[in-house]
Structure 1
Amino acid sequence: MAGLSCFKTYDIRGRLGDELDAGIAYRIGRGFARVLDARRVVLGRDVRPSSEMLADAVARALRDEGVEVLDLDLSGTEETYAATDHFGADGGICVTASHNPLDYNGMKMVARGAAPLAQDNGLARIKALAEENDFGPARPGGALRDVAREARSAYVERVLSFVDVARLAPLHILVNAGNGAAGPTFDAIAQALAARGAPLRFTRMYHAPDGRFPNGIPNPLLPENRPDTAAAVVAHGADFAVAWDGDFDRCFFFDHLGGFVDGEYVVGLLAEVFLSREAGATILHDPRVIWNTREIVARAGGRAVATPTGHVFFKRAMRAEGAIYGGEMSAHHYFRDFSHCDSGMIPWLLIAELVSRNGPLAPLVAARRAAHPSSGEINFRLDDPEAALSRVRAAFEPRAHGVDETDGLSLDMGAWRFNLRLSNTEPLLRLNVETRGGAVAPHVEAVRRALQS
């Protein structure tokens, strides 16, 4: 049996037709049930036209393994996490390609308690079984149960537990669902907020789920995807805007002037929120851009811990370190009281409470950006990335004040710092530069020269 290229390090992603189809999805579903010895599995899906077909194949596979399938229908990845925990299921699968191109799809999978699956704790064995495709006849006892209403109700209650509605000021928030899965879930949260008397008003943008993505693939991390939201928040006079990716496990913020709030500053803001609630708590951050977060955490009396980039690393570290919150600059935000998982809905509620208490986002972020400017992630496509990384190390490490290899190469040069990481999937090096208040561009150029020399 040919190898399955859709299996990646932490999830499943592949081009439809040649890397992933209903037959492959069926084999993955049966392998998942076998490896987890599952009796109950939560199943959700995003809005892509192919997701329903793939989810149907997974459901059939699970039933053929004697599994009770708890069906969420159209939902976000984090709803799969929440429902897996809520129902005490043995695992959960969300059929989604998030922000990948339209001709792709995939799956995100978790074990009991929404614990992450990776190569070393199940994913490799699922792959092996799916490739062997020797499952035998169907087993008895399989069933399909629609739990969408109950699951969403429980999820909304859990999300709203993170915000004190009484502390919310009258705010106008623009929300851009990008025609992904976020719209219906957001509406359920907004309805519950209104029932509790929250003085929030919303303007909805690209809200209806549409797997053709008529307004472009929802991925606000890309600068070219931001102008519509930036213009709309100003045009509508909103206090801030939030935009989601396709399965809404990432969210992105714009201030009332239309300015995009870079992910590392959001991590700092949310760290401050949690440390105001729990003194001395542990905060996780990724190693790419660290100074702003570490300064905020230290000032608030917390403990900052760097964790390699990637949801499996963060979810494991959240548990190991007892962290209350963890954030990546790529807009994944993890919460202890949300099964240590990432959510794209909890952050905007916390930002609404923060703005209610401290005023507009723009000056809050401007102060932090002035203290610690950063370059944003810059990608370099090179013929030999490892040789280029060695050149940079040779050029800068002898003068560095500190070296950190938690994730790639991080060098502290005193007044400035950079992180350089090899891509796992492409011949790329990813560069992030930050400073202690000085200009960023000269340091980016210095690293660029070393890379390309």
Structure 2
Amino acid sequence: MEKFTCFKAYDIRGQLGTELNADIVYRIGRAFGQFLKPKTIVVGGDVRLTSKELKSAVTNGLLDSGVDVIDLGEVGTEEVYFATSFLKTDGGIEVTASHNPMDYNGLKLVREGSRPISADTGLADIQRLAEENNFPPVTQRGTYKQLSVVGDYVEHLLSYVSFEHLKPLKLVINSGNGAAGHVIDAIEAQFKAHRVPVEIIKVHNNPDGTFPHGIPNPILHENRQDTIDAVLAHKADMGIAFDGDFDRCFLFDENGNFIEGYYIVGLLAQAFLQKNKGAKIIYDPRLIWNTIQLVEENGGEAIMSKSGHSFIKEKMRAVDAVYGGEMSAHHYFRDFFYCDSGMIPWLLVMELVCTSGKTLGQLVGNSVDTYPSPGEINSKLADAKASIARVRAAYEAEAVSVDETDGISIEYPTWRFNLRSSNTEPVVRLNLETRGDKQLMAEKTEEILALLRQ
């Protein structure tokens, strides 16, 4: 029996030709149909050059399983999440490799209610069925139709903000030639129709699967410059950039400074607590002090969850949290079916800039100074386990606390760090923060990296 290496902890992703092709994707469609026994599934695909072919393959697999398919066309991941719940279908599939290199593609799967399907909730079963390739003969094929829900989706997005709160603002929005452009166009049209005084300056807005300006992944420093340049050139109030399937959103302040996702979590937590007194907020273990402080100061309850979208969504449902945020720029919303959205965060921050009378730089400045962090640092290591154990042995004896919720978090009175192996790449990720001491931040970062990479 064949073994498929494209199945990961949370989704399906692989190199084209070697790990993923139309035949494998067809079999995944058949397996999805057999595992879930759904009546209707929505499918969509990002702008990658292979996404159309793979979407067609997974659609055929579903149709041959007797499943009715609604094809949303070229959309981002969250449009599939939205359509799954909005149309009350039994699940959804987005063909996307998000920010992976050009020669990759993949699939993100959800079941009814836009609930994630990951390794422990069915992905392993789907993998086994696809590998066995022992499907019953095709008796009755499902029906196929195309449908756009972009109007309803944008209406939902705009329900998070009040137009009367919005003041004259200039926004730079960089879609990175990914899937976000059509949504930005639709939001801009609504702003114009309602005479909202927000001007949108669009950068790389047209979808282009050849990615002429690089793979949209603003986590990489080299992918930020176009947004920074546009913010400065247009004297904009804020910059916004997306990854390929726009489930993550990255923000830049009025001076073109990149704002780490960590500080946006605290900012959005505050915004929600002002509207939802005493609400629960979910955060991940990598960077925590700023979020905990802001949630507590605003009368909310901060609850830690393991990193990764399936864990955060599960925890949010369990405790009915209004919002959850990861420092990796994934933001989750109760009213968005507990799913992550890359569009809702910038809309909320835009409103916050208007209602607070402060710039984005001023809104996060205090947090950045109070809890400085160098951002996530990745190390490719031959033996990740041994390297992490070496660091742990050096620091745990003197620590105030050691936490194993996700990787290893070690805390001292004035600084703390988290080390974890990635679920999607062969790297170890270091996150570190201090209590207002940038020099200590630099020293400890260097010290741990040296030990880790020994």
* CA drift at 1:141: 4.7
How far is the alpha carbon of 1:427 from its aligned partner? 4.7
Q: Deviations over 1:345-386 (max 9, x none)?
A: 001100110110122111222211111101211122333222
The residue that corresponds to 1:139 in the other structure is 139
Partners in 2 of 1:325 and 1:117 — Cα distance? 20
- In structure 2, how many angstroms separate the alpha carbons of the residues matched to 1:179 and 1:449? 38
- 2:415 aligns with 416
Inter-CA distance 233–294: structure 2 relative to 1 (3 Å threshold): same
Partner of 2:239: 241
1:264 corresponds in structure 2 to 262
SS in 2 for 1:99: coil
Alpha-carbon distance in structure 1 between the residues aligned to 2:116 and 2:59: 20
- Partner residue in 2 for 1:112: 112
Q: How does 1:25-104 map to 2 (within 5 A)?
A: 25-104=25-104
How far apart, in 1, do the equivalents of 2:452 and 2:110 lie?
39
2:312 to 296, 311, 314: 314
> Using the alignment, how far apart are the partners of 2:364 and 2:225 within structure 1?
19
Match of 1:431 in 2: 430
Q: What secondary structure sits across from 2:50 in the alignment? A: helix
Q: Quote the residue 1:385 is aligned against.
A: 384
Count of residues in correspondence between the two structures: 451
1:425 deviates by: 4.9
* Root-mean-square deviation over aligned CA pairs: 1.2
- The structural deviation recorded for 1:448 is 2.7
Map of 1:451 onto structure 2: 452
Counterpart of 1:24?
Answer: 24
Q: Contact conserved, 1:173 with 1:240, CA < 8 A, in 2? A: yes
Maintained 8 Å contact 1:71/1:144: yes
Residue 9 of structure 2 contacts residue 423 of structure 2 at CA under 8 Å; is this kept in 1?
A: no
- Contact kept? 2:379, 2:453, Cα under 8 Å: no
Corresponding residue number in structure 1 for 2:6: 6
Q: Is the 8 A contact 2:174 2:240 kept in 1?
A: yes
**3-state SS of paired residue (1:242):** strand
Instruction: Tell me how far apart the structure 2 counterparts of residues 139 and 85 of structure 1 sit (CA, whole Å).
Output: 29
1:362 equivalent in structure 2: 361
Render the CA deviation track for 1:14-57: whole Å, top value 9, x for unaligned.
11112111111110001101111111000000001100000111
Give the secondary-structure state (helix, strand or coil) at the position aligned to 2:116: coil
Please tell me the residue identity of whatever aligns with 2:399. Answer: A
Task: State the distance in 2 between where 1:19 and 1:387 align.
Answer: 29
- Cα deviation for residue 248 of structure 1 reads 0.4
1:134 shift after superposition = 1.5
157-166 or 80-89, which moves further after superposition?
157-166
Q: Which residue of 2 aligns with 1:337?
A: 335
Code of the aligned partner of 1:129: L
CA distance in 2, matches of 1:28, 1:121: 16
Match of 1:441 in 2: 442
**Matches of 1:114 and 1:93, distance apart in 2:** 10
CA distance in 2, matches of 1:448, 1:81: 38
Counterpart of 1:153 (choices 151, 154, 169) is: 151
Q: Is the 8 A contact 1:47 1:180 kept in 2?
A: yes
What displacement does 1:72 show?
0.3
Matches within 5 A, 1:196-275: 196-275=194-273
| Structure 2 CA distance for aligned equivalents of residues 426 and 77 of structure 1 | 20
Counterpart amino acid of 1:213?
A: F
Q: Deviations over 1:87-119 (max 9, x none)?
A: 111110000111111111000000000001012
Range with bigger deviation, 365-374 or 186-195: 186-195
TM-score after normalising by structure 2 = 0.97
Q: Name structure 2 gaps, 5 residues minimum.
A: none
CA distance in 1, matches of 2:137, 2:192: 51
- Take 1:346 and 1:156, find their aligned partners in 2: how far apart are those partners? 10
8 A contact 2:8–2:423 mirrored in 1: no
Deviates more, 1:419-428 or 1:221-230: 419-428
Q: Which secondary structure does the structure 2 equivalent of 1:379 belong to? A: strand
Q: Structure 2: which amino acid aligns with 1:195?
A: A
Tell me if the contact between 2:285 and 2:406 (Cα under 8 Å) persists in the aligned partners: yes
Normalising by structure 1, report the TM-score: 0.97
SS at match of 2:190: helix
Letter in 2 for 1:399: E
User: Is the contact made by 2:247 and 2:341 (CA closer than 8 Å) also made in structure 1?
Assistant: yes
Other-structure match for 1:163: 161
SS at match of 1:173: strand
Percent identity, aligned pairs only, is: 53
Structure 2 counterpart of 1:57, one-letter code: A
For 1:443, give the aligned amino acid.
Answer: K
SS at match of 1:49: coil
Indicate conservation of the 8 Å contact 1:384/1:427, yes or no: no
Partner of 1:300: 298
- Confirm or deny: 8 A CA contact 2:9 2:424 kept in the other structure: no
Q: Which runs of 5+ in 1 are unaligned?
A: none
Whether the 8 Å CA contact 1:178–1:244 is kept in 2: the answer is yes
